[in-house]
């Protein structure tokens, strides 16, 4: 029952979290308004950026999110995010006042030695 209530609030759309859609000729067009604090955006964060490098060098979707938030030029992430996210598969919700609510989520690094050898699925995913 709780799952059904949650699903009523989820909307799948053909554009990214910032409302942009990339066309076949690689142009970006705006398809929706940018998120606000009432909208949770999931950041596909890399652990190395959260713990060591900060938002600056991040690219792709994460880099676009950090630019939107105005933190791309910051040396580090907010203290509560850094303190909470110390390992893969972690997530931390942070409200960037006046911008958006972000769930920083750390996925597995399938290129790391941890996933090689024993986990054939990870090896297959990397080829």
Closest CA to 104 of 35, 52, 55: 55
Q: How many CB atoms lie within 10 A of CB 51?
A: 16
pTM of the model: 0.78
pLDDT digits (tens, 9 = 90+) for 29-57: 999 999 888 888 999 999 999 999 999 99
pLDDT value of residue 12: 83
């Amino acid at each position: 029952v709780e799952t059904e209530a949650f699903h009523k609030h989820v909307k799948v759309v053909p554009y990214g979290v910032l409302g942009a859609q990339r066309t076949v000729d690689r142009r970006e067009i705006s398809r929706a308004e940018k998120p606000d604090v009432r909208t949770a955006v999931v950041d596909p964060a890399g652990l190395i950026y959260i713990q060591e490098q900060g938002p600056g060098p991040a690219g792709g979707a994460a880099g676009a999110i950090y630019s939107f938030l105005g933190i791309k030029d910051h040396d580090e992430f907010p203290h509560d995010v850094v303190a909470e996210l110390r390992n893969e598969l972690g997530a931390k919700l942070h409200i960037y006042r006046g911008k958006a609510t972000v769930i920083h989520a750390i996925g597995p690094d399938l290129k790391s030695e941890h996933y090689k050898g024993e986990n054939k699925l990870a090896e297959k995913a990397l080829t």
